[in-house]
């Protein structure tokens, strides 16, 4: 059984049964002392302060004056 087939089957369930699936998954994780995998993607706001935009960032460019 692949992850995709599991997700597909869960998508077919009504919302109340999806909640039961989530509860059961939580039960299994607690029973077998499994931990959630850390999120491997970027965290919102993690690049704050790394990039600086100029004050005139939204100003029209000189190269496009003939089109305006």
- Three-state DSSP class for residue 3: helix
Residue whose C-alpha is closest to residue 9's, from 1, 23, 27:
1
Count of CB atoms situated within 10 Å of the CB of 2:
7
pLDDT tens string, the chain, 68 residues long: the values are: 789 999 999 999 999 999 999 999 999 999 998 887 776 788 888 888 898 888 989 988 888 888 87
The reply to whether the predicted model has a pTM over 0.75 is: no
Q: How far apart are CA 42 and CA 40, in angstroms?
A: 7
Question: What pLDDT score does 40 carry?
Answer: 77
Question: What pLDDT score does 65 carry?
Answer: 84
Which three-class secondary structure string do you get for 39-50?
CCCCCCCCCCCC
């Amino acid at each position: 059984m692949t992850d995709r087939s599991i997700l597909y089957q869960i998508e077919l369930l009504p919302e109340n049964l999806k909640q039961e699936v989530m509860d059961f998954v939580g039960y299994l994780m607690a029973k077998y002392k499994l931990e959630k995998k850390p999120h491997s993607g970027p965290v919102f706001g993690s690049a704050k302060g790394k990039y600086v935009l100029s004050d005139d960032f939204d100003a029209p460019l000189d190269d496009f004056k003939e089109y305006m």
